[in-house]
Amino acid sequence: MHYRVRGNSVQLVKTVREEGSDKLQSKPVGSINLTNGTLNAAALAALTAEEVTEAKAWIANRNSMRERCSELEFLTLASRIADLAEWVRTADEAFVASHGEEITDAFGDLRKAMRKRGAASRQQADTAAD
């Protein structure tokens, strides 16, 4: 069985032998929702218990890898931002201006998410210490 990521789901594809022939054919048999990890009814009907276990293990492994990638991005973000700030200081002004609002909005989204998770900014920490 192999997996095709399609937007917010994963298509499950089995390789089956064509009836009356030795020719192999890839056949989609169902899907897994990437958000909640559930297999649809078509997949549950078409897969053996072992294949269901394999599919659930695949989605768990994929989610684990994505989580680790996000953690690594978070841990290296401060350094990347510092490097980017240095580049912006010498970059083409028109280019920076054309994308600046998008970056500023993304920083605002990150700031809100971090505040909700209890990560105070230096200014907030300094104010609280006074």
Please write the tens of the pLDDT for every residue from 43-102.
999 999 999 999 999 999 999 999 999 999 999 999 999 999 999 999 999 999 998 899
pLDDT at position 127? 57
Total number of domains in the chain: 1
40 DSSP 8-state letter? P
Tell which wins on pLDDT, 112 or 22: 112
The answer to whether residue 128 is domain-embedded is: no
The answer to whether residue 37 is domain-embedded is: yes
The gap between the terminal CA atoms of the chain, to the nearest Å, is 61
The answer to whether residue 10 is domain-embedded is: yes
pLDDT 10s digits, 27-45? 999 999 988 889 999 999 9
pLDDT at position 124? 59
Say how far apart CA 3 and CA 44 lie, in whole Å: 15
- Domain range holding 24? 1-65
**Residue 5 phi, psi (nearest 5):** -75, 125
